[in-house]
């Protein structure tokens, strides 16, 4: 069967190659939509909280454009993030992802701040992102700005290894009607619609989408319980105000149901666990308002407020209701011909209500309120006009879990000529503890009896700390970067970095007890703490080459090394240190090829290689190489038909072993889908 699949894959590649060869002869002189020069001149907002040319940013920045998303064939935001060097994306199942920057990956990677139009979608429950719940209409995304390295001096705690800001398009650019439908081997179908119109001195849009996805398979070939059904809808309105200002109001709701299968600790099972089907529901709604205006002196001000309500229900495990209100103000002023100053204030209030069920997990107390007050200042100082700039920043925060936190940065940017830039940065950032870390009692696993060494089963149980508090994790990061725009449509972006982490989340052995209630067993308790230290270093390379007016190549390479610092006598601490060391691949390679053919058709190829990683044995992930192909045709104006093949080089492969929650390891399968998009 495997040989037959390989032959079929080769035949498909050969057929597409023949099609490409014929179409290339008819190619016109029209260039790819976004030129290299345009991209380098495009403004980014996330790196400095102000509009700034990508070529002028003193940080490791990568922008995934709307065209990149469309031509990649990606059907989700995490899949689109695979394009970014330094970002690790691993698919756990058809409905779950692990996304991190520069290591420490997992389903709830806790050192990455994710924003959507400046609104944080970071969950305080697990210090991560429920990617299965965070989605939007992909056609409405203008760009995804990814900052690799600490961004806490501007964006606050949890922006430890990076910041991802998903920025949607202005409503004036989404006028008219769009309808998109797709179906394929890994989905029952997807349907999306959008309508944009004019309202007074502004524009608006409303949109909705829904889809169903089927199941993948486990390591033994048995179907995984990872089905996914989701609906989502939203709106946005943009209006011009006096003196060139702008008012934006947006909102939306989501409702999704996903399946999973957990290997729950079971004292009566010979294996120590029982595979139990689970069902997860994520529901929620949000409302955001943003006002931008200018003072008479030309200073820019932004006031943004948002309210989120979410509900998480995992049957027989946990139910969480959360309401979060966020208020953020910033002001930009230029003075003395040398200073470009941005400062701001922020306040966040998040309250939850948690009900745990079953025997796996318990959280006490059942209600928590999280308050955060912050202030930041960011000054870009021109030392030598058009050549040398110094950037100094500091963010002070106070939260009711760990108190005051200081997160400074210092950056230097040298541009010897318009085509080259060299920058360096030294930063400190923190990650505040999650709700689960301080308050959770978890029955982790069972070691079955094995007389005479282990006369009775042993239940490993995580207990909350007596004071229900943890310390913030910290990182001190050193980065250097180089950019060069060569003649002939070629650019290069390189970054090297070293991060030193302290007070990382860990656990240590605690008390033992003998339970003389059937089934008789031992309980080994562990207590969370902050004793781990680690160090990472690596480099990231990305190139963009317009080889011909109709052909664009985008290679990238990431090298990452994670090392534990110090030795630990406690066996649980040693195991956690080993897990962190093996939490991300050392090598990643990506090559994207985009061809515009005949003015009406496109052919895209995406090759990725991920080195093997993980601890030897059941937790190891073998290296894998994937190829995605996309062919799109526009028979008439406004209508696009496309076919996409993903993971074409093998039948299926695992990408990560789940952590934190006891989900089974699933494999990502080869897939094919067709899509029709009509705009009028």
Residue-by-residue DSSP string for 209-239: EEEEE---EETTSPBPS--EEEEEEEEEEEE
Spatial CB neighbours of 1, under 8 Å, sequence gap ≥ 6: 651
* 401 has pLDDT over 90: no
Mean pLDDT of 130-154: 94
With H, G, I as helix, E, B as strand and everything else as coil, classify residue 357.
Answer: coil
Mean pLDDT of 260-285: 94
Please name the helix (run of DSSP H) or strand (run of DSSP E) that holds residue 292, with its range, or none. strand 273-294
What's residue 127's pLDDT? 85
Please give the Cα distance from 189 to 442 (Å, whole number). 38
Spatial CB neighbours of 567, under 8 Å, sequence gap ≥ 6: none
| pTM score of the predicted model | 0.92
Residues 351-376: pLDDT tens digits? Answer: 999 999 888 899 989 999 999 999 99
- CA 505 to chain centroid, in Å, comes to 21
What's residue 595's pLDDT? 96
What's residue 42's pLDDT? 67
Q: Order of strands, edge to edge, in the sheet holding 112-116? A: 60-65, 141-148, 162-168, 112-116, 119-120
Please name the helix (run of DSSP H) or strand (run of DSSP E) that holds residue 72, with its range, or none. helix 66-72
What's residue 5's pLDDT? 40
* 25 has pLDDT over 60: no
Please give the Cα distance from 160 to 163 (Å, whole number). 8
DSSP string for 460-488: EEE---TT---PPEEEEEEEEEEEEEETT
* 664 has pLDDT over 50: yes
Closest Cα to residue 291, out of 333, 340, 328, 342? 328
Q: Are 601 and 634 in contact (CB under 8 A)?
A: yes
% of the chain exceeding 70 in pLDDT? 94
What's residue 36's pLDDT? 44
Q: Are 139 and 178 in contact (CB under 8 A)?
A: yes
What's residue 13's pLDDT? 38
Mean pLDDT of 173-187: 93
Range in 13-27, 112-126, 215-229, 234-248 with the lowest mean pLDDT: 13-27
More confident residue, 25 or 47: 47
What's residue 55's pLDDT? 85
Mean pLDDT of 225-251: 93
With H, G, I as helix, E, B as strand and everything else as coil, classify residue 408.
Answer: strand
What's residue 23's pLDDT? 36
| Mean pLDDT rounded to a whole number for the chain | 90
Model confidence at 40, pLDDT cuts 50, 70, 90, reads low
What's residue 485's pLDDT? 92
Say how many C-beta atoms besides its own lie within 10 A of residue 355's C-beta: 11
Query: What CATH number has the domain bearing residue 401?
Result: 2.40.170.20
Tell me which residue range forms the domain holding 69: 2-679
* 608 has pLDDT over 70: yes
What's residue 9's pLDDT? 40
Strands (E) in 75-186, as ranges, are: 87-93, 96-101, 112-116, 119-120, 141-148, 162-168, 176-184
Mean pLDDT of 595-613: 94
Give, in degrees to the nearest 5, the angle at Cα 93 between 89 and 96.
Answer: 60
Model confidence at 652, pLDDT cuts 50, 70, 90, reads very high
566 φ, ψ (degrees, to nearest 5): 90, 170
* 32 has pLDDT over 50: no
What's residue 527's pLDDT? 94
More confident residue, 373 or 23: 373
Q: Are 126 and 90 in contact (CB under 8 A)?
A: no
Mean pLDDT of 90-108: 93
What's residue 431's pLDDT? 94
Model confidence at 583, pLDDT cuts 50, 70, 90, reads confident
Model confidence at 453, pLDDT cuts 50, 70, 90, reads confident
Q: Which residue do the tokens 């409503």 mark?
A: 171
Please give the Cα distance from 515 to 520 (Å, whole number). 6
Model confidence at 122, pLDDT cuts 50, 70, 90, reads confident
Mean pLDDT of 536-542: 97
* 650 has pLDDT over 70: yes
What's residue 28's pLDDT? 36
Domains of the chain: total: 1
Mean pLDDT of 324-351: 95
Closest Cα to residue 58, out of 381, 343, 336, 539? 381
Mean pLDDT of 375-402: 95
Q: Which residue do the tokens 């700005």 mark?
A: 145
* 236 has pLDDT over 60: yes
Closest Cα to residue 363, out of 434, 308, 315? 434
What's residue 238's pLDDT? 96
Range in 483-487, 504-508, 514-518, 618-622 with the lowest mean pLDDT: 618-622
Please give the Cα distance from 45 to 58 (Å, whole number). 13
What's residue 618's pLDDT? 66
Q: CA dihedral in degrees (130, 135, 138, 143; nearest 10)?
A: -60
């Amino acid at each position: 069967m495997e040989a037959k699949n390989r032959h079929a894959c080769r035949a498909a590649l050969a057929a597409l190659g023949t099609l490409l060869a014929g179409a290339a002869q008819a190619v016109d002189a029209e260039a790819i939509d976004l030129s290299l020069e345009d991209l380098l001149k495009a403004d980014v907002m996330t790196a400095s909280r102000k509009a700034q040319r990508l070529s002028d940013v003193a940080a490791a920045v990568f922008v995934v454009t709307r065209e990149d998303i469309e031509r990649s064939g990606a059907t989700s935001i995490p899949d689109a993030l695979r394009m970014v060097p330094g970002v690790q994306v691993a698919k756990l199942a058809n409905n779950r992802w692990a996304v991190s920057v520069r290591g420490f990956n997992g389903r709830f990677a806790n050192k990455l701040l994710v924003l959507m139009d400046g609104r944080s979608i970071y969950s305080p429950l697990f210090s991560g992102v429920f990617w299965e719940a965070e989605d939007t209409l992909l056609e409405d995304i203008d760009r995804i700005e990814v900052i690799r390295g600490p961004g806490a001096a501007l964006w606050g705690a949890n922006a430890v290894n990076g910041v991802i800001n998903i920025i949607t398009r202005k409503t004036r650019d989404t006028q008219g009607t769009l309808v998109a439908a797709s179906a394929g081997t890994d989905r029952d179908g997807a349907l999306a619609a959008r309508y944009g119109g004019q309202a007074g001195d502004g524009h608006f849009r409303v949109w909705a989408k829904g889809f169903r996805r089927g199941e993948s398979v486990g390591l033994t070939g048995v179907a995984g319980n990872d089905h996914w059904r989701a609906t989502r809808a939203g709106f946005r309105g943009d209006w011009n105000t006096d003196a060139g200002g702008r008012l934006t109001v947006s909102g939306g709701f989501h409702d999704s149901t996903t399946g999973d299968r957990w290997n729950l600790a079971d004292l009566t099972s010979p294996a120590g666990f029982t595979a139990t089907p689970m069902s997860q529901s994520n529901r929620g709604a949000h409302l955001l308002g943003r006002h931008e205006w200018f003072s008479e002196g030309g200073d820019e001000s932004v006031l943004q407020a948002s309210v989120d309500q979410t509900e998480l229900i995992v049957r027989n495990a946990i139910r969480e209701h959360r309401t979060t209100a966020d208020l953020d103000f910033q002001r930009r002023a230029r003075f003395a011909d040398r200073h470009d100053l941005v400062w701001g204030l922020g306040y966040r209030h998040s309250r939850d209500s948690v009900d745990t069920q079953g025997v796996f997990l318990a959280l006490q107390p059942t209600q928590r309120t999280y308050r955060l007050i912050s202030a930041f200042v960011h000054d870009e100082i021109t030392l030598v006009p058009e050549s040398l700039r110094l950037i100094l920043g500091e963010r002070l925060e106070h939260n009711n879990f760990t108190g005051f936190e200081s997160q400074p940065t210092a950056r230097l940017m040298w541009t010897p000529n318009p085509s080259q830039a060299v920058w360096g940065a030294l930063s400190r950032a923190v990650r505040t503890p999650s709700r689960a870390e301080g308050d959770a009692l978890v029955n982790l696993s069972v070691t079955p009896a094995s007389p005479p060494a282990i006369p009775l089963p042993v239940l490993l149980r995580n207990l909350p700390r007596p004071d229900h508090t943890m310390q913030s994790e910290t990182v001190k990061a050193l980065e250097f970067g180089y950019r060069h725009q060569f003649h002939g449509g070629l650019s290069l972006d390189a970054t090297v970095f070293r991060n030193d982490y302290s007070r990382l989340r860990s656990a240590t052995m605690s008390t033992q007890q003998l339970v003389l209630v059937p089934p008789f067993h031992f309980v080994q308790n562990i207590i969370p703490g902050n004793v781990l230290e680690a160090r990472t270093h690596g480099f990231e390379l990305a190139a963009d080459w317009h080889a011909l007016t109709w052909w664009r190549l985008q290679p990238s390479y990431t090298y990452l090394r994670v090392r534990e610092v110090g030795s630990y006598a406690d066996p649980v601490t040693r195991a956690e240190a080993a897990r962190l060391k093996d939490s991300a691949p050392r090598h990643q390679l990506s090559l994207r090829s985009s061809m515009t053919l005949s003015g009406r058709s496109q052919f895209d190829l995406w090759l990725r290689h991920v080195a093997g990683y993980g601890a030897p044995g059941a937790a190891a992930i073998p290296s894998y190489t994937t190829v995605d192909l996309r062919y799109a045709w526009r028979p008439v104006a406004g209508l696009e038909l496309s076919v996409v093949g993903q993971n074409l080089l093998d039948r299926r492969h695992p990408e990560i072993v789940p952590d934190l929650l006891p989900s089974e390891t699933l494999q990502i399968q080869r897939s094919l889908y067709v899509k029709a998009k009509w705009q009028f």
